Structure 1
Amino acid sequence: MSQSATLQRVQAVDFYGRLEEEVREHSQGTALLFLYCAGDSSGSEAELSEVQSFVDQLSGDNGKVLQDANYGVMAITLPGYSLDAAHYQALLLKQHLQGRLGEADPRITLAALTETPSMQTMKQMAESTRLSTSSDIHIFTQEEADREHNRILIVDQDATVREFLQIRLAMQGYETLEALDGLEALELIAKWEPDLVLTELNLHGIDGLPFIHHIQQLDVKESPKIVVLTEKRVEQTISQCFQNGVDDYVTKPFSPVELDARIRRCLH
């Protein structure tokens, strides 16, 4: 067996940077495949071994497999492969995993690249693969990669809430950043200039209406839309938020579908 594929487990903070470097090395073009096994084996040593074994047997000597150690998503680079050739190998890989690991239930997103995609595009591909409910191989098109993304800043002290919102919004094509508190959020708004701020009111440092007021006083080209997502249900607080320019107010627990609709309405 050749040693064409090198499997590397990397933390999420390094995963996309390493992947970007790998894709950039192959100026002649490369196929990029994201894989996530939705079954109980996701991220297992057996699964990783089977993927590496499969890629090792492909012709050529530059294939690489990287895994996001946090989420179990794998990225496979196939330098020099056309879309048709990569799609054929993706079908074979899917069959290979189903045969060797019956519980694996592979989800695959595939793209043939002529230039290095942005980190946000790669994140969108990976997260759509991880959250896919279809076993069909998804071909990620240049049109999807070129689509303009609205920027949303998520502000919440709860890491679980931030992660859920980040994944769901990225799935819909939004660019996202996260802030733990009001002071960090104000710095990011000034530097990154998001289109919308999705924020809790209960924050460290500066919170509530003073935080809303500070957002609106920042020296930016265009003030972001503000959607409050909070546990506060007091009618007076809700009324004051709208009086102070908040675009929408959603209370926790919330319906993700309803929140999606309200964000779209604010942005469009």
Structure 2
Amino acid sequence: MANTVTLERQMTVNVYDILEEQLKGMGSRPSGVVFVHCKNMEQQPEAEVNEALERTCETEFQLWKDSKTSTIAVFLPGLTLNATHYQALLIKQELLERLGEADPRLTIAGFPEMGSPSRHMLKNMAESAKLSQSTDIQLYTKNETMTAPGKILIVDYDETTREFLRIRLSMQGYETFEAVDGLSAIELAKKINPDLILTELNLYGVSGLSFIHQIQSLELQIQPKVIVLTDQRVEDTISKCFEKGVDDYVTKPYSPVELDARIRRCFQSNAVS
């Protein structure tokens, strides 16, 4: 069983001040935060969340309830974003099994990927969970990372893959465009000047590596970032992609929440450069 830490709920110190202090104390070490809100419950199920964590979490955790936002905050020191997402799935499953119509909404974030934590950021995370209209676990992103919705070009021959990415990315505020092959993607890129291209390597009309080279050679106002999404795991292929200048390489099957984080990092890099 994991080492568990739960604090007194009637606190004079603000939940977000404590959580901010805990996160900053982690330095560069990974940690996760989960906010839980059950839309159909007047009293939030603090005991059930705690019991779920005691059964499934293999590391120490801390938990608080914030009555002002009607949310439960969970601090997971040592967990990566991927592991935090998995833990959130277990919490959600437990609540659905035990509380039926609780309708849990969860928002997660990984640190230090999110940058320096602040009370304001954490309060926004809580509000995001409370106001979420989706039953999917949400990855929290700071609105200030982009001054305008980013443009993402999705290049994949598989219609189901394109549809999944389009829906998920659109829900996060990105402006999405689609192409079924490399040649049409190149023409579309000239017209829309995307901020980011998500591309499969197995493309019709032009090979994936040739497509990447041609994209990098286009005279665009802003050179797009490129993330490869593929089932090709050959080391030589991966090396050649990075030699061509791709920004990230993600193998299928992948964690959607991890892909969200990698996309966000690309946009943060654009904002800094």
With the length of structure 1 as denominator, give the TM-score of the two structures: 0.48
TM-score, length basis structure 2: 0.48
